[in-house]
């Protein structure tokens, strides 16, 4: 009797989708801070996009974990998955804004680990398209990070209620 590959296919697809969405979220976060297009993009719009992409990415990542839970080829327990989800949700409210910002620096490590995970554990890792995906994602994040580090962000202009002239902030 042949085994059903549904969960294996779902795990592959959701893992790749999660990687692409989380890469896009990292890039949106970098664009928000580095402002490579100056004032062409509104910060509120980019922030909403960043949050939306991260939420979709986390949803795809959760689906990836659940699919692996039901796939018999990969041994993962429900307890492991529940522990990971609980830790991520319980930390959010308790760590405060300052530590939340510090935690965002960890996304670089998470991105690197996700890339290594995809290359090492992904069943499509040896294919040209998968290597192109990992290479393009890594290149884009490195380029956006370099931009953020080397180019100062565009200065915001605010209006003072008493005067008509803008003041840099």
pLDDT at 98 over 90: no
23-58 pLDDT, tens per residue? 999 898 888 877 766 667 788 888 889 889 988 988
Give the mean pLDDT of 106-110. 82
CA separation for the pair 42, 141 (Å, rounded): 21
**Which one is predicted more confidently, 75 or 123?**
123
CA angle (156 as vertex; 150, 158 as ends), nearest 5: 165
- Vertex 99, ends 153 and 33: CA angle to 5°? 15
Do 34 and 151 meet the contact criterion of CB atoms below 8 Å apart? yes
Q: In terms of residues, how long is the chain?
A: 169
Confirm whether pTM is higher than 0.75: no
What CA–CA distance (Å, rounded) separates 129 from 100?
Answer: 35
Tell me the domain boundaries of the chain: 6-168
Separation CA 169–CA 149 (nearest Å)? 20
């Amino acid at each position: 009797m042949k085994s059903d590959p549904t969960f294996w296919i779902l795990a592959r697809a959701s893992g790749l989708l999660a990687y692409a969405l989380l890469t896009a979220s990292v890039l949106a976060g970098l664009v928000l801070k580095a402002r490579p297009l100056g004032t062409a993009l509104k910060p509120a719009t980019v922030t909403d996009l960043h949050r939306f992409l991260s939420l979709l990415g986390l949803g795809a990542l959760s689906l990836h974990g659940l699919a692996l839970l039901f796939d018999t080829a990969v041994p993962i327990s429900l307890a492991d998955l529940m522990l990971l989800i609980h830790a991520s949700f319980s930390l959010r409210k308790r760590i405060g804004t300052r530590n939340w910002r510090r935690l965002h620096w960890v996304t670089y490590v998470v991105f690197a680990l996700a890339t290594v995970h995809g290359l090492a554990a992904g069943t499509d890792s040896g294919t040209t398209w998968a290597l192109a995906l990992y290479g393009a994602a890594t290149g884009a994040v490195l380029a956006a990070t370099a931009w953020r580090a080397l180019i100062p962000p565009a200065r915001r202009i605010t209006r003072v209620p008493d005067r008509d002239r803008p003041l840099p902030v």
